[in-house]
Amino acid sequence: MPRNYQNTKNNPYLLPHNLYMRVLYIIKDYDRLKDEYNEILNSGNGSDIVTPKLGADISNPTEDKAIRLESISTEIYAIEKSLWIIPKEYQHGIKQNVIYGARYPDTAHYQTWQRWRQRWIYTVANLLKYIE
């Protein structure tokens, strides 16, 4: 079965393919997001963060820093909060599988892992307000 397969029959957590892949890659980017968030928080004045503004010659590094922090923290929050819906015994295995491509442990059937994985990805999409 392909690695990024979504069961299409009797799946209340089915997402359109492009949205599924978008959310999947946000989750895969979790470690980098955490590092970037901590780096921005620990940086001095935020002058190393550059966001181009159309028609503006004056930059506001504090505002740019706050906007970037908000964007990153929203994604981190969605990933972490959505893990809470997964039973404790599956959280680590699913997180390792999605983020690092690790194999599922042999503690449950493959379809059980897939079902919880799909629910996690769907919940992240919901928390990021990509779906209603």
Q: Is residue 102 part of a domain?
A: yes
Whether 54 and 103 have beta carbons less than 8 Å apart is answered as: no
Quote helix, strand, coil % in the chain, to nearest 5: 60, 0, 40
What is the C-alpha separation between 106 and 102, in angstroms, rounded? Answer: 12
For residue 87, with 0-12 CB atoms within 10 Å meaning exposed, 13-18 middle and 19 or more buried, which class applies? exposed
Whether 128 and 16 have beta carbons less than 8 Å apart is answered as: no
Range of the domain at 122: 17-127
pTM above 0.75, yes or no: yes
**For 71-109, what is each residue's pLDDT tens digit?**
999 999 999 999 999 999 999 999 999 999 999 999 999
Whether 127 and 107 have beta carbons less than 8 Å apart is answered as: no
Backbone torsions φ then ψ of 39, nearest 5 degrees:
-65, -45
Specify which of 6-10, 61-65, 106-110 reaches the highest per-range mean pLDDT. 106-110
What is the C-alpha separation between 91 and 97, in angstroms, rounded? Answer: 10
**For 19-49, what is each residue's pLDDT tens digit?**
999 999 999 999 999 999 999 999 865 455 5
Q: What residues contact residue 10 under an 8 Å CB cut-off, 6+ apart?
A: none
How many distinct structural domains can be found in the chain? 1
pLDDT of residue 18: 93
| 1 pLDDT above the threshold of 50 | no
Whether 75 and 25 have beta carbons less than 8 Å apart is answered as: no
Q: Is residue 11 part of a domain?
A: no
Q: Is residue 7 part of a domain?
A: no
Can you give the C-alpha Rg of the chain in angstroms? 18
Q: Is residue 55 part of a domain?
A: yes
Q: Is residue 42 part of a domain?
A: yes
